[in-house]
Copies of this chain bind each other. A is one copy, B any other.
Amino acid sequence: MTPPAEDGRLGLNQMTVPRWTVGQAVDGCARHGIRHIGLWRDKVAEFGVAASARAARDAGVAISSLCRGGWFPAASRGERRDRIEDNRRAIEEARGLGTDTLVLVCGPAPDRDLDRARRMVEEAVAELAPYAAECGVRLGVEPLHPMFAADRSVITTLAEASAIAERHPLERVGVLVDAYHVWWDPAVYTEIARAGRRIFGFHINDWIVPLPDLLFGRGMIGDGVIELRRLRQAVDGAGYAGPIEVEIFNRAINAMPGDDLLRLIKERYLAHVA
């Protein structure tokens, strides 16, 4: 394995190189001295939980998080129950992988009633948190950009995510800070300070203009308008000393040869974040 990149905090979110299997992704990280990886459930399902854990261990790469649980609001009690059960399986997968953090993307409302959907999220997190704690897994509520309020997450600000987290012990439920989702928020620095040691992860990427797509429009670090170093300093100042995961959903970037992409990411990380 090559020496770790820079400060040893750089991590790869697997969906930045979506063509790679878990095995290829952890080997890619190892080749480039990237010490952390965030995995996705569908990729882990293909490769196997135990095989994924073993591949990461053999490569010397820590699994920083599992994406993703959540998607809680639903029209019927039965559907909400099914989603809780699916989240229990996600918690068990996280335990099997040996990662301490399950990322929650909370889901959209089943109808026009956002308030009710937000309550469903709170209730689901409350139901899952004790089981997650038993399994040694923390739940990280990720607020999504408000442009996803209708189809991916009724939780759109760090303030809302922290309000949910703060109903639980510090070590059980926290928040994810993803630059793409939070950079616009006039309260972002206040809310990062408030979240403090409840920050369970920090994802980086950039916001480019014009935005090519809502979901697959994220930019390469440094190509956009986000003050990434300032955000990094803010999460550090709040007490976060964990991995910094690069998570870029963008068709052109995701199609790059993985090794070229990891080289570029390291270069940009040094120039704009570290």
Binding site for B on A (CB under 8 A): 109, 112-114, 118, 145-147, 149-151, 156-157, 159-160, 183-186, 207, 209-211, 214, 224-227
CB-CB under 8 A for A186 and B118, given A113-B227, A210-B151, A225-B109:
yes
Q: Find out whether the CB atom of B112 lies under 8 angstroms from the CB atom of A150.
A: no
Do B112 and A184 have beta carbons less than 8 Å apart?
Answer: no
Question: Which residues of B sit under 8 angstroms from A150, Cβ to Cβ?
Answer: 184, 207, 209, 211, 224-225
Residue in contact with A145 in the complex, picked from B147, B160, B183, B207, CB distance below 8 Å: B147
Min CB distance A165 to B, Å, is: 15
| B-chain residues with CB within 8 Å of residue A159 when the two chains form the complex | 186
Name which residue of chain B comes closest to A182, CB basis: B146
Residues of B within 8 A of A114 (CB): 184, 186, 227
A224 neighbours in B (Cβ, 8 Å): 150
Given A146-B146, A149-B184, 20 extra CB contacts under 8 A: A109-B225, A112-B226, A113-B227, A114-B186, A114-B227, A118-B186, A146-B185, A147-B147, A147-B211, A147-B214, A149-B207, A150-B184, A150-B207, A150-B209, A150-B211, A150-B224, A156-B185, A156-B186, A211-B214, A214-B214
Copies in the complex: 2
Contact residues of A: prevailing secondary structure: loop
A109 CB, min distance to chain B CBs, angstroms: 7
**Roughly how many angstroms separate A225 CA and B147 CA in the complex, as a whole number?**
12
User: Smallest distance from the beta carbon of A23 to chain B beta carbons, Å?
Assistant: 33
Of the residues B118, B149, B186, contact of A157 by C-beta under 8 Å: B186
User: In the complex, are the beta carbons of B147 and A209 less than 8 A apart?
Assistant: no
User: A109 contacts which chain B residues (CB < 8 A)?
Assistant: 225
B186:A225 contact, CB within 8 angstroms: no
> Which residues on B sit within 8 Å (CB–CB) of A145?
146-147
A157 surroundings in chain B (CB, below 8 A): 186
Q: Complex formed: what's the CA distance from A150 to B207 in Å?
A: 8
Min CB–CB distance A49 → chain B (angstroms):
32
| Min distance, Cβ A224 to any Cβ of chain B, angstroms | 7
Q: Known: A146-B145, A210-B151. Is A225-B156 also a contact (CB below 8 A)?
A: no
